[in-house]
Amino acid sequence: MKPIKCLVTAGPTREYFDPVRYISNPSSGKMGWNIANAAKQKGWDVTLILGPSQLPDIDGATTVRVVSAADMLSACEKYFPHTDILIMSAAVSDVRPKVYSGQKIKKDKIDFNPQLEPTPDILKTLSLKKKSQILVGFAAETHDVMHYAEEKMKSKNLDAIVANTVGSEGSGFAADENKIDLILRSGEIVDFHKASKSRLAASLIDFISAKFFGGRRPQDRQ
Ligand code: PMT
């Protein structure tokens, strides 16, 4: 019997202007790393696509380290066809510089109004290739989180989305604890109380396992 195949993304992406300057965000990778670890503990076959982060590889899982949104998309596209569920917790940069300089730009040559362009939307791209895969996204917002999360779930054609309020101390980016709600396509909302990212990750994986895979243990899977 084959284990459930789970693809998790975590961490930020970096979009470089030159070899020493980039656009990014404060994601540490902890939320997604803990989700991948919890899925591994459940006996799932886990691949973690991890943006720049200090976190170690997960024993028994495949860890693929990437830098930019384009790298993350390529890595996801490689594993997505063979996965049962994608959990997209990475904080992918929405923009990148239009022009990259292979050499460090001298201070007096810096363009203070650089041209930016959107990065590829990884979830949206993968949702167009979706067959039987379950897609779970995240929505990080400072306000109206439930409203924006529902909009993102619909526009990216997701099965569920984790609504994550960010911007307050002790929760969200880089913190050890978090506060999340899971919104399902059916409209069901699960309120996970504020807790450590490792506890939340375990609860989230337990819930997802019961909801989408009938709580099957890997050895029960056909
Ligand atoms: O890493 P930590 O320090 O532990 O912090 C955890 C976290 C706050 C980063 C995490 O819990 C979280 O909320 N992750 C999602 C952050 C985010 O980028 O959300 P968003 O609302 O901008 O994006 C919506 C969804 O689209 C996300 O699933 C994102 O991965 C995805 N996306 C975004 C941009 C893009 N170009 N491609 C994408 O696939």
- The answer on pLDDT for 39 being more than 80 is yes
Ligand 1 center–CA 96 separation, angstroms: 16
Q: For 88-112, what is each residue's pLDDT tens digit?
A: 999 999 999 999 999 999 999 999 9
pLDDT digits (tens, 9 = 90+) for 97-155: 999 999 999 999 999 999 999 999 999 999 999 999 999 999 999 999 999 999 999 99
Q: Ligand 1 within 6 A of 95 CB?
A: no
Rounded to a whole number of angstroms, the distance between the first and last alpha carbons of the chain is 6
Ligand 1 binding pocket includes 91 (Cβ within 6 Å): yes
SS3 197: helix
The predicted pLDDT at position 99 comes to 96
Closest atom of ligand 1 to 30 CA is 4
What confidence tier does 190 reach under pLDDT thresholds 50, 70, 90?
Answer: very high
pTM equals 0.96
The DSSP-derived string for 60-104 is TSEEEE--SHHHHHHHHHHHGGG-SEEEE--B--SEEES---SSP
Residue 221 has pLDDT above 60, yes or no: no
- Angle (CA) 142-147-153 rounded to 5° is 105
- The DSSP call for residue 37 is H
